[in-house]
Amino acid sequence: MAPTPPKRAAAQLLIVISGPSGAGKDSVVRQLLQREPGLQFVVTTTARKMRAAEAHGRDYFFVSGEEFERMLASDEFIEHAEVYGEHKGIARKEVRAALQSGKDVVLRVDVQGAARIRQLYPAALLLFLTPGNENELRARLGERESETDAALERRVATAREEAQRQEEFDYVVVNQRDDLEGTVGTIQGIIRAERARMRARAKTR
């Protein structure tokens, strides 16, 4: 029998930001949290190495492969996946703490992780972030200078498959190059609209 997921309050938004590698999820979430301090972010745990601009506990919880396997064996993740050979997961205790805060909660997950969250929380708000087109995606991945040609092609192929699942999401947001503020502003507008709908539904009950 699967463990019961942490409970979400009826008036609490659970916001899931997803999309392909290279869509800019990390940058978008970082600025969204700066603009909306009332949001509670659930930090993902990963076994991959930390990048230069990242910080432990802010962007991800960075753990060893052995520690990740221990957490997995102990059923400490609400969802987990191996993405491009990198293990990532959302720890159950982190989701529970976020939901208990009473604030609207933000999760940043890959596309298959978003599907899992929707199973556990049918009322979750799912946003699909996209760079707009494949050429732009290639350019952004190439700028990382950490991808071999084979790895880049694998990510592009996966992104192509993930794009076919956009209909599973409530909103699709294009993250245009050099317009991070516009992208975050769009997401803020979506969140405010969903909050208003939630309040309206509560009044009719």
Active-site entry in 92, 116, 118, 155: 155
Active site residue 51: yes
SS (H, E, C) the chain: CCCCCCCCCCCCCEEEEECCCCCCHHHHHHHHHHHCCCEEEECEEECCCCCCCCCECCCEEECCHHHHHHHHHCCCEEEEEEECCEEEEEEHHHHHHHHHCCCEEEEECCHHHHHHHHHHCCCCEEEEEECCCHHHHHHHHHHCCCCCHHHHHHHHHHHHHHHCCHHHCCEEEECCCCCHHHHHHHHHHHHHHHHHHHHHHHHHC
Which amino acid is it at 48?
R
Active-site entry in 51, 58, 70, 197: 51
User: Edge-to-edge strand order for the sheet containing 77-83?
Assistant: 60-62, 44-46, 86-91, 77-83
CA distance linking residue 55 with residue 59, whole number of Å: 6
Active-site entry in 58, 70, 144, 197: 144
CA distance linking residue 147 with residue 103, whole number of Å: 37
The residues assigned a catalytic role are 51, 144, 155
